[in-house]
Structure 1
Amino acid sequence: MSVAAQPAPPELTPPPSAGRDAGPVGIVAGGGAFPAAVAEAVRAQGRDVLFGLMTGFADPALERYPHFWFRIGSLGSATAKFRAGGVKDLVMVGTLTRPRVRDLGFDWTMLRLLPRIAALFRGGDNHLLSGVLGLVEQQGFRMRGAHEVAPGLLLPEGVLGAHAPNAGDQHDIAKGLSLIAALGDFDVGQAVIVVDGFVVAVEAAEGTDEMLARYGAMRASGRLRFAKGHGVLVKAPKPGQDRRVDLPSLGPRTVARAAEAGLAGIAFEAGGAIVPDAEHLVADADAAGLFVVGIKPQVAVS
């Protein structure tokens, strides 16, 4: 077994508006707590927000902000409303399950783009989401990442709470990061579970929470016989991933599921994961006896 250096992911090219941002930020909102966290971070910088709330996904509580509702397939009407609101910078954030093409509710703009949209569905999530960003940019917007308009949501390097990984945990973390890097070309999940050097679960279409539940069920049934307090959930962006969308995220539910699964802790790529409330997450991890640690993307195990 050897430890080899792994190059850091390429840095994002600053958007044309960097250093001279102005006007409201448009937020295309899926589910979960992240859209509100991004909005509050943007407002704290003195900029207004305008939400485009995706029907069937966004939290109705977001109606407290300036907003409109739209169906996923209504690209033309949604972009027209953002444009009328003075939006030039647009962010996509929040959970979203892959829709079926026939459920999108196309408007005329999307119908004209239908052949291109159909092609986007023939690939993984990064292929789909990056393609959608390209379509939106062609409508005259600057697509920004949540980490660009709300950098305070990024988790930093180092141990974040009262508990720290031991040598065995560190080996599991390195192996997990190496595996995510190796799987990048296949455009699958952003998370794995490694226990005592064994890869026991890889995130696929079910998402991180369901992967954790699957591992916990295997432990509970005796299919896997690892002791409680062993193993690490590792999350990191896929190599080559467009970080403007689908950046790995952590929240209180991730901590709760990791604790239920009997893991020792959670590791993430420093600067490569966002959290809506880091203080809450760390407090929950401390109470559950889990470590939370940010790792520079520089080690891999082969």
Structure 2
Amino acid sequence: MSGGNLTAVIAGQGALAPAVLAALADQGESPVVAALQGFAPGPGITEFRLERLVPFMDSLLDQGVDKVTFAGAVRRPHLDPELFDSRTASLVPRILSAIQSGDDAALRVLIAIFEEWGLKVIGTADVAPDLVPAEGHLVGGPNGHDREDARRAVEIVRGLGALDLGQGAVVAQGLCLAVETLPGTNAMLDFVAAHKALRPNPRGARGVLYKAPKPGQDRRIDLPAIGVETVNAAVRAGLAGIAWEAGGCVLLDRTETEAAAREGGLFLWSRGA
């Protein structure tokens, strides 16, 4: 079987999938939309199970799909051994090994399987480049202390990424207040909000949230994202601003997110290397 000239969006939860679909619609495309069962961002979306991955990929090819992009959050699914079809069952050792190896390893295997089936995997930056800001200050700007905190956060996030952990950290006055783990960015920021007294100097630098892909991460999937909820959580945490690796982070609902940052007195900084 061979694909045609059609994009499939494997949609997850959150605002990214609708944003990607809107970008494709602006480009005159009508993509096929599907979601892993239990993680569809809304009603009316075709769902599939990982246990029947091969029949699902075959169905994409039958519809003329030749490109796939992943957009949105999913969690590792529970696998039911009784639901595997015979062809997907042959992939079980690879799938289970990947799931047990960490998020980045699992995603690399998933990409490899799709591409072995003749489906080219493309990233958000390819599908909707406006969602991935280039270097620059979008709202306000960091002062010298903020820049130092951001620099320290960069080092921490690189260390986390090397261990295939999170994609974010909060640093204030040179101290790491929190790092992102499985519960996600908002949980990390809620922790910071509940422990504001951890800052040594109450009148000193308020701190910076920094987000970036993991070192060596395949950037076609699972880029970190920032949106209105992130800004509001950073405001509650008392931070000075949010920084991220330029070209390595998705900015959702840009107009609303920038407006929320201005209202909350936060800077938004797409930080170069």
TM-score normalised by length of structure 1: 0.83
What displacement does 1:261 show? 0.9
Cross-structure match for 1:54: 36
1:165 pairs with 2:142: yes
1:275 pairs with 2:251: yes
Describe the SS at the equivalent of 1:32: coil
1:154 pairs with 2:136: no
For 1:142-221, list aligned pairs within 5 A. 142-161=120-139, 163-219=140-196
**AA partner of residue 204 (structure 1):** T
Give the gaps of 5 or more residues in structure 2: none
What displacement does 1:118 show? 1.2
Instruction: Work out whether residues 215 and 261 of structure 1, in 8 Å CA contact, stay in contact via their aligned partners in 2.
Output: yes
What displacement does 1:197 show? 0.8
Instruction: Work out whether residues 173 and 200 of structure 2, in 8 Å CA contact, stay in contact via their aligned partners in 1.
Output: no
Q: Which range moves more in the overlay, 203-212 or 98-107?
A: 98-107
Cross-structure match for 1:41: 23
User: Are residues 223 and 231 of structure 1, via their aligned partners in 2, closer, same or farther at CA, if it must alter by over 3 Å?
Assistant: closer
> For 1:249, which of 201, 219, 225 is the aligned residue?
225
Instruction: Work out whether residues 17 and 41 of structure 2, in 8 Å CA contact, stay in contact via their aligned partners in 1.
Output: no
Distance 1:207 1:238 in 2: 15
Distance 1:69 1:273 in 2: 27
**AA partner of residue 106 (structure 1):** F
> For 2:114, which of 100, 122, 136 is the aligned residue?
136
Q: Which range moves more in the overlay, 26-35 or 51-60?
A: 51-60
Q: Which has the higher contact order (CA 8 A, sep 6+)?
A: 1
Instruction: Work out whether residues 25 and 49 of structure 1, in 8 Å CA contact, stay in contact via their aligned partners in 2.
Output: yes
User: Are residues 291 and 105 of structure 1, via their aligned partners in 2, closer, same or farther at CA, if it must alter by over 3 Å?
Assistant: farther
Distance 1:43 1:280 in 2: 21
Cross-structure match for 1:8: none
For 1:78-157, list aligned pairs within 5 A. 78-102=56-80, 105-157=83-135
Q: Deviations over 1:255-282 (max 9, x none)?
A: 1111111111100111111123211110
Instruction: Work out whether residues 189 and 202 of structure 1, in 8 Å CA contact, stay in contact via their aligned partners in 2.
Output: yes
Instruction: Work out whether residues 181 and 239 of structure 1, in 8 Å CA contact, stay in contact via their aligned partners in 2.
Output: yes
Describe the SS at the equivalent of 1:199: strand
Describe the SS at the equivalent of 2:88: helix
Distance 1:291 1:103 in 2: 49
**AA partner of residue 122 (structure 1):** Q
Q: Deviations over 1:232-273 (max 9, x none)?
A: 000011110010111111111111111111111100111111
For 1:57-76, list aligned pairs within 5 A. 57-61=39-43, 63=44, 67-76=45-54
Describe the SS at the equivalent of 2:76: coil
User: Are residues 58 and 103 of structure 1, via their aligned partners in 2, closer, same or farther at CA, if it must alter by over 3 Å?
Assistant: farther
Distance 1:185 1:93 in 2: 23
Distance 2:271 2:254 in 1: 16
Q: Deviations over 1:98-146 (max 9, x none)?
A: 2234499534332221111111022221111111111111111001111
Coordinate RMSD, CA, aligned? 2.0
What displacement does 1:173 show? 0.7
User: Are residues 224 and 97 of structure 1, via their aligned partners in 2, closer, same or farther at CA, if it must alter by over 3 Å?
Assistant: farther
Name the count of aligned residue pairs.
269
Instruction: Work out whether residues 101 and 118 of structure 1, in 8 Å CA contact, stay in contact via their aligned partners in 2.
Output: no
Distance 1:190 1:118 in 2: 23
Cross-structure match for 1:9: none
Distance 1:167 1:107 in 2: 58
Q: Which range moves more in the overlay, 224-233 or 249-258?
A: 224-233
1:294 pairs with 2:270: yes
Describe the SS at the equivalent of 1:193: strand
